Amino acid sequence: MNTKEEVESSPMFKIIKRAIMRKYPWIKDIYAGDEEDMRKYSSMLFLDADIDAQQLAEEKGWTLEQWVNPDLQRRIYNRDHFNTVYLSVLFTKPSDEEARELQNDIDDEMKRIQKSDAIPSDIKINKTLGLSNFRYNFPPPQPDNTTITN
């Protein structure tokens, strides 16, 4: 599998995507990453995930790092998202350790699904799938409701 289309149309990818998004509702989408990376690595297939970091923070009782603040990112870096390879980067201590464990749990779940005897061997992918990039797409900016009167 060398193209995004090949990966994303494969039954194995669809099974993993559905299972992971169901178990982790703050993961909003999973898709094939960079096509160059797909060809570069013989045993791994790296996937990207769109996430709602605020939803995850609320679900776990964690606090987002200040630098992840959407208003700050928009104002200083002119970005509407924040990318990271590590979930732990998004959260303050001690939640960062728990986020590291959560990321490992997601990887373990993906591997477990791939190795499952319930999956017919003819639809299995000969590479290990894993998430390599988490993209926190910021919610739309809120209008400034402050009123200036003279």
Residue-wise pLDDT for 22-54, tens only, equals 999 999 999 998 788 777 888 889 899 999 999
20 located within any domain: yes
Nearest of 85, 86, 64 to residue 138 by alpha carbon: 64
Q: What is the pLDDT of residue 140?
A: 79
Q: Which of 14-18, 42-46, 60-64, 137-141 has the least mean pLDDT? A: 137-141
Q: 137: helix, coil or strand?
A: strand
Nearest of 65, 70, 91, 71 to residue 81 by alpha carbon: 70
State both tokens at 8.
Answer: 């994303």
Give the domain extent around 38.
4-137
38 located within any domain: yes
Q: 148: helix, coil or strand?
A: coil
pTM, two decimal places: 0.87
Kind of pairing between the strands at 128-137 and 44-51 = parallel
Domain count for the chain, please give it: 1
pLDDT interval class at 1 (50, 70, 90):
low
State both tokens at 132.
Answer: 């390599």
111 located within any domain: yes
Q: What is the pLDDT of residue 134?
A: 97
